[in-house]
Amino acid sequence: GDSVTQMEGPVTLSEEAFLTINCTYTATGYPSLFWYVQYPGEGLQLLLKATKADDKGSNKGFEATYRKETTSFHLEKGSVQVSDSAVYFCALRRFSGTYKYIFGTGTRLKVLA
Amino acid sequence: NAGVTQTPKFQVLKTGQSMTLQCAQDMNHNSMYWYRQDPGMGLRLIYYSASEGTTDKGEVPNGYNVSRLNKREFSLRLESAAPSQTSVYFCASSEVQGVAAGELFFGEGSRLTVL
């Protein structure tokens, strides 16, 4: 069945450091891929998405490219801020009557000033 | 601009007690979902409702029941709580069509502890 694997956290970085959070997936066909972010005490919210191979999703300085050949959707940001401290979830989505998501286990990011 | 509202935010139960988590959305979405979030396991789908009047099991439905009361409201019931149901529960909604089709909108979560 479908699955999503994320790198284990926590990830601790200094402000302005470069961020990469790895995400790989296993799926048949061509699912859409997502990154959701969960700030402390809140529900998840969409960060970015890509719906087909080679698409690049971007938002708030974060980017991720849908790589079908490596079944990956790694999240990157060139310069992190303290306000980026959160838990990041990679997910894939299929449509079967309704939209169904498979989430990764989440990666906690802590950015130090 | 409420979005998705869950109640209660915190609850402590004893083993065997029952309770209902309430969820309401004001975005006129057709689909609603209940997830549980556990450390090291991400989010797992408990039940979902593709549209008013329908409900279906997700990945981990055992020990839960749901009711899609109307288009706005989707409740999750624990009939006889067990310690394994200690978790953070999230309600979410989405629309099938439109610019934000398929995007999940989440509530703030309900933290449940079963002793």
One pLDDT digit (tens) per residue for chain B, 115 residues: 679 999 999 999 999 999 999 999 999 999 999 999 998 888 999 999 988 989 999 999 999 999 998 999 999 999 999 999 999 999 999 987 777 777 899 999 999 999 9
Q: What is the pLDDT of residue B98?
A: 74
Least Cα distance to B61 among B89, B91, B94, B34 occurs for B34
User: Is A31 part of the contact surface with chain B (CB cutoff 8 Å)?
Assistant: no
Within chain A, which residues score under 70 in pLDDT? Answer: none
Tell me which of B5, B99, B104, B111 to substitute to probe the interface with A (most A C-beta atoms closer than 10 Å).
Answer: B104
Least CB–CB distance from A99: residue in B90, B102, B108: B102
CA distances from A113 to A39, A75, A86, B88 (A): 17, 21, 15, 30
Q: Do A43 and B50 touch (CB under 8 A)?
A: no
pLDDT value at residue A28: 82
DSSP string covering A5-61? EE--S-EEEETT--EEE-EEEE-SS--EEEEEEE-TTS-EEEEEEE-STT-EEEETT
- Chain B residues at the A interface, defined by Cβ less than 8 Å, are 4, 30-31, 40-45, 48, 50-51, 56, 90, 92, 94, 96, 101-109
Contact A58, A66 (CB under 8 A): no
The pLDDT value given to residue B1? 63
What radius of gyration do chain A's Cα atoms show?
14
Q: Inspect the interface and report whether the beta carbons of A106 and B42 lie closer than 8 Å.
A: yes
Q: Whole-angstrom Cα distance, residue A43 to residue A37?
A: 8
Which residues of chain B make contact with A95, given a CB cutoff of 8 A? 102
Confidence (pLDDT) at A75? 98
Here the tokens at position A104 are 């990764």
* CA A46/CA B92 separation, integer angstroms: 12
β-bridge partners, A26: A3
Q: Which residues contact A56 (CB under 8 A, 6 or more apart)?
A: A50, A63, A64, A65, A66
